[in-house]
Amino acid sequence: MERLSGFWGLIFAYWRSERWREAWLLTAVVLAMTTLLSKASVWVALASADFLASLANFHGADAGPHPGRTVLLAAGAYLAIFLGRLTGVAARHFVSATLHRRARGWLVGRFNDAILADERIALDLMSDRSERGDRTRMPDAIDQRVDECSGALYGGIIGLAMGLWGAVTSIWFVFAALVERSQPVPFLDLWGAQANAALAPWLGPGLAARIDLAPGAYGSALLSLAMVAVYVPVVTLIAWQLGRIIERLSLQRQRRDGAWRAEWGGMLNRVAQMAAARGERAQSRINRHLYDRLDQTWGKQNWLSSGMMLFNGLYNFLSARLLAYLPALPAYMAGNLNFRDFVASSELTAELIGDVSWFINVMPAIATLKANAGRLTELAAAIERVRARQDFYAETGVSRFQRQRSGRGPVLALDDLRLHHRGHDTPAFLTVPRLHLYPGTRVHVRGPNGCGKSSLLKAVAGIWPYGAGRVTLRDGARLFLAGQEPDVPDRLSLKALVTYPDHPEQHSDIAAASALSRVGLGGFVHCLEDDLYQGKNWRNVLSGGQKQRLVLARILLARPDVLLLDEATAALDVDAAVEFHMILRTCLPQTAVLAVLHGEVTPHDPDGVPFYSAILDIRDGVGRLLPLPETDFIRHAAE
């Protein structure tokens, strides 16, 4: 990602990657075809001149005995050359599109691997939505950046590279053809002779005799070059200024479009909650506000795009229809050029102006390319920032956790753990001086609402950012966090949801079916390979309690050494919650459990034996380990 966080590093990343052979081979083919097409543009210009000349001479003395045949032959040659060039353009498009597809696939793969390299990076990228001016501290609309910007980036790069190479080669071929057909221009020869005479007193007769400033046969070619040298840079400067405004508006529109799209995505993921709360009016106002901001920028872009279109149209008209005919006109009027060569020279001059004007014509594309590259380099730089997680969160608060592994001792140890909220001056809202869990230890975290119970589990799992202290896991110990809201992704089969986060092929169908049956979801066993159930995603099929049973099935397959339960039975009734814990005690007797429960009652089996052996009691911001009160056991036994 570090290489992708700079403009040029991003631009050339694919060509410097492990797939560089593929990249450069396709690039070489595209450039070779572009070179051939540039030469073909000269052939097309000359064939066009031959066709126009045959029409102009149809009734002339030089028409020959069969002027109609001459016209048809010229038209046929013109059509054949044009179709040949068109076929070459289509073939080049296929190869360049293949290069574009593979380059984009490589880039998307890099961002996908980087963002999902571990459990934290995607979370950290979405951790801060605070705005600084028109930007957020962390990248907005990450999906838009990876999708649209990556596609437009390499499409723009390849298109611009083809255009630049085509312009360079075409300028070479076209100017060579212009020089070949150049004829003397009388007034240039006159001015050259006068300049020669003026130089004689300064340089002396001997040296002045060796210098001839009269262009002679190169007169019309010199006029073409002079016109291009004066006309094109002036217009290019104007286009450059317009391009800077286009780039700024493109970036602004992408940001606002990303915010609008993200709001729609979030809304569609909570339609049930919105319907229950009848929040459609509030949501409609949010959507309208975000789109109004987008529309405001779009309106500015429309004005500028219309002006750029007018500018390009006028420029192209002057270049191809008026100015292109001026350089060869003096030689034609002096009788040094026939009509055919006059038309050919004018067509070639128009081609030369068009090639040199490449930068002007692609200025909007360059502005868009820079905008897309800027969005992607921002994302790459943000990924690099969050990889150094403690340094990243230290920018906005206290982040001094020590996470380590140990070859012996408890399976999980918390020492002098302190949790903070964001801010460098915030006091610790929860302190756990010491908590050691051994295999089979089961501890219930108890405390008032808002005291930090869930935050403690997140800190143990490594996803709470602010705080200090030491978290130690035994070597090889596997940790599983079952949160309040089970993660049930779409586009996965039921088996994949049971084995999640493992891949489905890592577990047999029998093991997955057994786990489902064990937790009370055996009625779905026949749907193991189905992505949908009665046309719906599984997320919308399973109830809250069934989703928590699904998580229990995952726990049975994962067989963790440390299990963190964050109100993992909140959607279950009392009997189902007891069954949940009985299954854990029976199937995973050696798993250490640290749990936040829904309610204050500690689960117990039908004989009154409590599932948890100790309580981490949080009072006044301090968590202390206490044995389970004997009165609880007696009361449960009596019940």
Q: CB within 8 A of 207, min separation 6: which ones?
A: none
For residue 628, give Cα distances in angstroms to 60, 457, 611, 612. 115, 20, 10, 8
Provide the residue count of the chain.
639
What distance in Å separates the CA atoms of residue 598 and residue 609, rounded to the nearest whole number?
19
pLDDT at residue 458, as a whole number: 92
Q: How would residue 639 be classed by pLDDT, with cut points 50, 70 and 90?
A: very low
Query: What mean pLDDT do residues 301-305 have?
Result: 83
pLDDT at residue 634, as a whole number: 42
What distance in Å separates the CA atoms of residue 617 and residue 639, rounded to the nearest whole number?
24
pLDDT at residue 21, as a whole number: 93
Please choose, from the candidates 539, 548, 551, the residue with its C-alpha nearest in 3D space to the C-alpha of residue 569: 548
| Helix 186-203 with 219-268: angle, nearest 10 deg | 110
Please choose, from the candidates 335, 336, 339, the residue with its C-alpha nearest in 3D space to the C-alpha of residue 60: 339
Please choose, from the candidates 341, 369, 380, the residue with its C-alpha nearest in 3D space to the C-alpha of residue 183: 341
pLDDT of 48 > 90? The answer is no
What distance in Å separates the CA atoms of residue 208 and residue 206, rounded to the nearest whole number?
6
Rg (CA), the chain: 37
What distance in Å separates the CA atoms of residue 352 and residue 519, rounded to the nearest whole number?
76
Query: What mean pLDDT do residues 163-192 have?
Result: 79
Helix H or strand E encompassing 253: helix 219-268
pLDDT at residue 135, as a whole number: 65
Q: Which of the 8 DSSP states describes residue 426?
A: P
pLDDT tens for each residue of 452-489? 999 999 999 988 999 999 999 999 999 999 988 888 88
Please choose, from the candidates 616, 608, 611, the residue with its C-alpha nearest in 3D space to the C-alpha of residue 635: 608
pLDDT of 368 > 60? The answer is yes
Strands (E), 373-411: 399-406
pLDDT of 638 > 50? The answer is no
pLDDT at residue 595, as a whole number: 93
pLDDT at residue 361, as a whole number: 61
| 592 residue type, one letter | A
3-state secondary structure of 110: helix
SS (H, E, C) 153-191: HHHHHHHHHHHHHHHHHHHHHHHHHHHHCCCCCHHHHHH
pLDDT of 364 > 70? The answer is no
pLDDT of 175 > 60? The answer is yes
pLDDT at residue 557, as a whole number: 94
For residue 381, give Cα distances in angstroms to 4, 9, 339, 393. 8, 12, 61, 15
Q: Is residue 178 within 8 Å of 41, Cβ to Cβ?
A: no
Q: Which two tokens stand for residue 69?
A: 């045949």
pLDDT of 434 > 70? The answer is yes
Please choose, from the candidates 468, 471, 431, the residue with its C-alpha nearest in 3D space to the C-alpha of residue 564: 471
β-bridge partners, 614: 443, 627
Q: How far apart are the first and last CA of the chain?
A: 60
Q: Please tell me the least confidently modeled range out of 66-75, 131-140, 425-434, 491-500.
A: 131-140
pTM: 0.70
pLDDT at residue 7, as a whole number: 83
In this structure, are strands 592-596 and 479-482 parallel, antiparallel, or unpaired? unpaired
Quote the longest CA-to-CA distance of the chain: 128
Q: How far is CA 65 from the centre of its chain?
A: 66
Q: How high is the mean pLDDT of the chain? A: 84
pLDDT tens for each residue of 554-608? 999 999 999 999 998 888 888 888 899 999 999 999 999 999 987 666 778 777 7
pLDDT at residue 208, as a whole number: 63
- Start-end of H helices in 519-608: 538-541, 544-558, 574-587
pLDDT at residue 478, as a whole number: 93
Q: Which of the 8 DSSP states describes residue 620?
A: T
Query: What mean pLDDT do residues 289-293 have?
Result: 89
Q: Please tell me the least confidently modeled range out of 158-172, 223-237, 350-364, 451-465.
A: 350-364
pLDDT of 106 > 50? The answer is yes
Helix H or strand E encompassing 562: strand 562-566
Query: What mean pLDDT do residues 36-64 have?
Result: 76
In this structure, are strands 532-533 and 536-537 parallel, antiparallel, or unpaired? antiparallel
pLDDT tens for each residue of 495-526? 999 999 889 999 999 999 999 999 999 999 99
Strands (E), 364-509: 399-406, 412-419, 430-437, 442-446, 467-474, 479-482
pLDDT of 356 > 80? The answer is no
pLDDT at residue 472, as a whole number: 95
Quick one: what percent of the chain has pLDDT higher than 70?
Answer: 92
pLDDT tens for each residue of 8-40? 888 888 899 999 999 999 999 999 998 888 888
What are the structural domains, with CATH classification, of the chain?
Answer: 2-183+215-387 (1.20.1560.10), 399-488+542-627 (3.40.50.300)
Q: Which contacts of 292-300 are long-range, i.e. CB under 8 A and separated by 24 or more positions?
A: 293/256, 293/259, 293/260, 294/253, 294/256, 294/257, 294/259, 294/260, 297/249, 297/252, 297/253, 297/256, 298/253, 300/249
In this structure, are strands 399-406 and 592-596 parallel, antiparallel, or unpaired? unpaired
Q: Which contacts of 384-390 are long-range, i.e. CB under 8 A and separated by 24 or more positions?
A: 384/1, 384/2, 384/5, 386/120, 386/121, 386/124, 386/125, 387/1, 387/121, 389/120, 389/124, 389/465
| Helix 574-587 with 544-558: angle, nearest 10 deg | 10
Please choose, from the candidates 576, 584, 590, the residue with its C-alpha nearest in 3D space to the C-alpha of residue 553: 584
Query: What mean pLDDT do residues 307-322 have?
Result: 77
pLDDT tens for each residue of 617-635? 999 999 999 887 654 444 4
CA angle (22 as vertex; 84, 366 as ends), nearest 5: 70
Helix H or strand E encompassing 616: strand 614-619
What distance in Å separates the CA atoms of residue 457 and residue 285, rounded to the nearest whole number?
37
